[in-house]
Structure 1
């Protein structure tokens, strides 16, 4: 039986696996949240990096974290199994955080290389373990991903909260040691739920005996070799960021060719819709990834962080995002189900277009806040809070829906790779965000009054760019709906070609 022919697990196993993955996702995210929200501040305030260098490093951090997701889908499905690769990735993250905490600058690059190897590969494993528990037409899929996304953001909430606490005292050593706790808990839960997390439909399931162990050995070798390779690339950020952009273009060309050559008409149309939506999402994620870079530095230097007499840490601002996701994820799942039951047309293209409008508005409120800043140039906290609120609503409309979309649009044989490619979009967006952050004014040695005009100009351009992209996607909705939903008969010649391709 081929992987595409295997059936998903029974309802009870799907339910138990979804619950386990909710908690695993929550704890696995905690360590990443610490580094994601603190790396630029740690590099500039403690290690003496320039803002450009710190943003470039954060761009590489995001690029590899998300870019390796594509490779993680391939490595987990064909060589190590998704659950094995996930646990091994968590172990690497534990050692990576320990090196950053204990060795400072000398341990920074090795620690980041180990952490990124783990986090970059294992996120796809989590999503693949979850998506395999549902058939392509199972209506529970979207709700499961929304709940799982809420679990991830609970991890972000804990990570951001603790990171902000240690940020105010400057105790980065304790903060990075704390980051290892969530990774350890994720490992423990995975081991306790080992049986129900088993892969259901992957190419590795077909291997046995010597070929199986050879695949496992090859997967382990790749995992070990990735660490020094990423260590080298982290020290050459300009070359690395350019390479990520080139790689993204190569992957886009490859997926386009794969789509054009695909024999089944219906699947080809859905793959084409996937490509269009991926390009639209690139705009959203390029602006969203400003949060740990330029937007973080803008918040640190140009926002009045004294709120009702309480000094707010920059990381705590991002908890606006996590609260919206945690509360809004289940609510949105319930709301969408109710609206669909009443006949409303709530589908993927409409949600994506709406997400771009929300992101655009999230950027456009910032110039308004800047124009109302006080004599000292500090912008009222409510404006950055409103911006994060709008961005978070947009994230709810695109991110968990995007993950769930793979099971609907990707042919079963390409699901792992296309899940990874979808995540790679965010990696490319992270590099683009580092370039955008480089366009923003330098805060070190300057004042809010001097930098506010530059920030206002950049935020305005970004906001209107997102709105225009949303309008274009809105105009394409009828076309995208036909690609996704229109049932096309498959000609006999197409069937023969598909059979020949599978045999090859």
Structure 2
């Protein structure tokens, strides 16, 4: 199998290390989403309130460059972890750099050099942190363990708990009391995550994520070239790249939530509830809330199906995600028809769309993270996780371009185009699923977790390499 493992594997539930990684990721996501919620507002904010007072166009351009770099740097962070640092040290280093970046942004005044320095620290820190903590989740499980997909769903809940806390804590402090308090609270959250990770990592993670051991060779001998990929490894890498292509379709549609759907909700949705108008920004919390509600159900469902050897293949699950996000946009078609006829659409159209988008996300995103840890050759595991995140970078860029056509085509036509494109992509992926499954060469097959495998949480699983 592709992933080295050296973590405890209890017969019931999940290794304790999963919950440490869950907590660390939760604090990091609070830090990231807290800063993201404030960044554009800070750049366009009035200078007398501590902002830069820049134009919206300039602020969005800088924001786009920043988010693109955030999703690009994990390739380099993953490579350094695979070759030299190990995932555990990389996560620690990344967390510290991001904490420092938040504190630099929180410094009083609006100095542009400090602002760009803070963003640079966040970009580099994320490059070390993001691919490696996800890879470590896979390292907690032996090859064929049916709990792996469920574990990534639990881990994914941590991401969204952090996203929810970001709006509740960092956003509120930043808007109500001052930008520096919002950025500062994000830095404190990241610092807490690093402290917890350092305090409990050795005891709860075993050997998972330690630096790779150097290859010993005789004096005077030249360095041996890296072993070429086997045929099975090449096939598995091809599967990762093919699925990454389909993931672009998913995220380009899903990320309309922060752009086109957000603007549509603000202008054309009746947000009144019992005489009170729900703030538009609160709709951004609907997805994290649904993740927290549905995540445990999906985690148990994947694990239960795996125990009975009825778990759908990874490509099939991801095809389901595309079909569900397509179905979610059907509700946006209904909303646009109603707003054209009556001026405003009912609030529940948007909530229903977010519900199905979230269900699709749970079929695709955590399963995709799990898939990379199953298929990637161990010596390239974190680097390929970084490649996986590049698909998000491309999709985020495309999401902005696609959303911009709403003014020319109208919301209904654009929602219809997104509905059809994601449905077709889902159907094509479903048709390709059997072939892709064969190319995995058994990497996604699950095996029962035997009691003898872990008489105690301290027993270690032997590393295995495809």
Please give the range of the TM-score, normalised by the shorter of the 2 chains. Answer: 0.7 to 0.9
Aligned to 1:328: 294
Aligned to 1:26: 26
**SS where residue 257 of structure 2 aligns?**
coil
Aligned to 2:37: 37
1:31-430 map, 5 Å: 31-44=31-44, 46=46, 47-101=52-106, 102-104=108-110, 106=112, 107-163=114-170, 165=172, 169=176, 171-196=178-203, 197=205, 200=208, 204-206=212-214, 264-341=230-307, 344-373=310-339, 377-430=343-396
Matched, 1:11 2:43: no
Aligned to 1:462: 418
Note if contact 1:124-1:419 (Cα within 8 Å) is conserved in structure 2.
yes
Bigger share in helix: 1
* Residue 140 of structure 1, CA deviation: 2.5
Note if contact 2:251-2:392 (Cα within 8 Å) is conserved in structure 1.
yes
Note if contact 1:4-1:201 (Cα within 8 Å) is conserved in structure 2.
no
* Residue 311 of structure 1, CA deviation: 4.2
* Residue 312 of structure 1, CA deviation: 3.2
* Residue 137 of structure 1, CA deviation: 1.9
Structure 2 CA distance for aligned equivalents of residues 397 and 416 of structure 1: 22
Q: Which runs of 5+ in 2 are unaligned?
A: 47-51, 217-225, 444-464
More moved, 309-318 vs 425-434: 309-318
Deviations 1:201-254, CA, capped at 9 Å, x for gaps: 66633279xxxxxxxxxxxxxxxxxxxxxxxxxxxxxxxxxxxxxxxxxxxxxx
* Residue 189 of structure 1, CA deviation: 0.2
More moved, 33-42 vs 138-147: 33-42
Higher RCO (CA 8 Å, separation ≥ 6 residues): 2
Instruction: Name the CA shift for 1:274/1:343 in 2 (closer, same or farther; >3 Å).
Output: same
* Residue 349 of structure 1, CA deviation: 1.2
Structure 1 CA distance for aligned equivalents of residues 324 and 285 of structure 2: 18
Instruction: Name the CA shift for 1:74/1:100 in 2 (closer, same or farther; >3 Å).
Output: same
* Residue 185 of structure 1, CA deviation: 0.9
Structure 2 CA distance for aligned equivalents of residues 157 and 463 of structure 1: 27
**SS where residue 142 of structure 2 aligns?**
coil
Deviations 1:77-134, CA, capped at 9 Å, x for gaps: 3333322222222222223223333334624333222222212320112112222222
Note if contact 1:28-1:186 (Cα within 8 Å) is conserved in structure 2.
yes
Structure 2 CA distance for aligned equivalents of residues 10 and 415 of structure 1: 20
Instruction: Name the CA shift for 1:110/1:262 in 2 (closer, same or farther; >3 Å).
Output: same
**SS where residue 181 of structure 1 aligns?**
helix
Instruction: Name the CA shift for 1:309/1:117 in 2 (closer, same or farther; >3 Å).
Output: farther
**SS where residue 205 of structure 1 aligns?**
coil
**SS where residue 185 of structure 1 aligns?**
helix
Instruction: Name the CA shift for 1:84/1:486 in 2 (closer, same or farther; >3 Å).
Output: closer
Deviations 1:60-81, CA, capped at 9 Å, x for gaps: 2322222212222112233333
Aligned to 1:237: none
Deviations 1:423-447, CA, capped at 9 Å, x for gaps: 2211222222232344344xxxxxx
**SS where residue 373 of structure 1 aligns?**
helix
* Residue 382 of structure 1, CA deviation: 1.9
Structure 2 CA distance for aligned equivalents of residues 33 and 183 of structure 1: 11
Note if contact 1:132-1:199 (Cα within 8 Å) is conserved in structure 2.
no
Instruction: Name the CA shift for 1:52/1:369 in 2 (closer, same or farther; >3 Å).
Output: farther
**SS where residue 477 of structure 1 aligns?**
helix
Deviations 1:145-185, CA, capped at 9 Å, x for gaps: 11111112111111123355457748444322222221111
TM-score by length of 1: 0.75
Matched, 1:434 2:400: yes
* Residue 355 of structure 1, CA deviation: 0.7
TM-score by length of 2: 0.80
Aligned length: 425
Give me the CA root mean square deviation.
3.3
Structure 1 CA distance for aligned equivalents of residues 79 and 31 of structure 2: 24
Instruction: Name the CA shift for 1:337/1:89 in 2 (closer, same or farther; >3 Å).
Output: closer
